[in-house]
Amino acid sequence: MADTSWQPSAALAALERRAVLLAQLRAFFAARGVLELEVPLLGSAGVTDVHIENLVVAGAPEWYLQSSPEYFLKRFLARHTRAVYCLGKAFRAGERGRLHQPEFTLLEWYRPGWDEDALIAEVAELLVESGAGAGHCTLDYGTRFAAAVGIDPHAAPDAELRARAAAAAGDSGARWRDQPRGICLDLLFSSVVQPRLPPGVVFVTRYPACQAALARLERTPAGVVVARRFEVFVDGVELGNGYWELTDAEEQRRRFAEDVAQRAALGRPRRVPDQRLLAALDAGLPPCAGVALGVDRLLMGLLGAVHIREVLAFAEE
């Protein structure tokens, strides 16, 4: 039997639709006066986030294939206060499956002067113009989580979250004994809450404080501290992650230090916080909202594709 492994992964029709989508995305931002910025794929720093592993390029010193253009775009914003986007490749180690490839296409943009609620409206507009469907709903994380899991994600004790996560994962519980709160919440959300989201375009907002990452925190009228963060789902598939961005350099240093400590406790590779990003925050990042959107997943939804390789010219196995 002839070897066909050299052939493109996706059908020609899918690749033609991909080209149309990329043109649509650029036209969307051109019509709104948002600047496209090309940023490096290689950087001297990785990310400290315990949920993300950079691909490392060996050398002295090591270089990191970037998991997102975020740090570069924020450095730009600290110097030039104008709306900006990047459409290009990003990389993450250890991610492979129906919805994942180590190399993928990411659309990320920032809006100075906006909060995440204003950005949600623009994301919804972009999805409509891309053909992903009209109309959307916005759901509160805490309310949806409590309804699906039966506990308050903001107030439940760590021990209860670990027990629930172990049960959802089908484990004995031993490996969950020391897991951070955020990892337990991620597991419960993805396995219990996400499958019960309504069809269509859904925005989930106001995440638990421990999952703030690079988002601002807010105390609600009820006294609950939440992250000003949202995620967007299309027919139950996570498509993007957005923040009302943190601009406080000292708070960001504290969060990076917490990440580094968690990575050490979990036995993950050590990552040094990006000092140039911190310097940009020191100089003054303007109030802004930003979001990163998975282009490959968006195209999968538009085409009804089951596996990511159906929308990639060449998917490495």
Specify the pLDDT at position 170. Answer: 85
pLDDT tens-place string over residues 66-96: 999 999 999 999 999 999 999 999 999 987 8
User: Residue 104 phi/psi, 5° resolution?
Assistant: -150, 170
* pLDDT, mean of each 10-residue run, the chain (317 residues): 90 98 98 98 94 90 95 98 97 89 97 98 97 92 97 94 90 78 94 96 97 95 95 97 98 96 92 96 98 98 96 89
Within a domain: 244? no
Output 46-49 pairs: Cβ under 8 A, ≥24 positions apart: 46/271, 46/274, 47/271, 47/274, 48/256, 48/259, 48/260, 48/263, 48/271, 48/273, 49/213, 49/259
Within a domain: 162? no
Give the global pTM. Answer: 0.95
Q: How many domains does the structure of the chain reveal? A: 1
Within a domain: 178? no
Beta bridge mates, 231: 204, 241
Q: What is the DSSP-derived secondary structure letter of residue 8?
A: -
Within a domain: 191? no
Domain of 49 in residue numbering reads as 12-133+254-261+275-311
Within a domain: 158? no
Quote the tokens at residue 271.
Answer: 């990552």
Quote the tokens at residue 117.
Answer: 């609620």
Within a domain: 151? no
CATH of the domain at 19: 3.30.930.10
Q: What is the DSSP-derived secondary structure letter of residue 189?
A: I
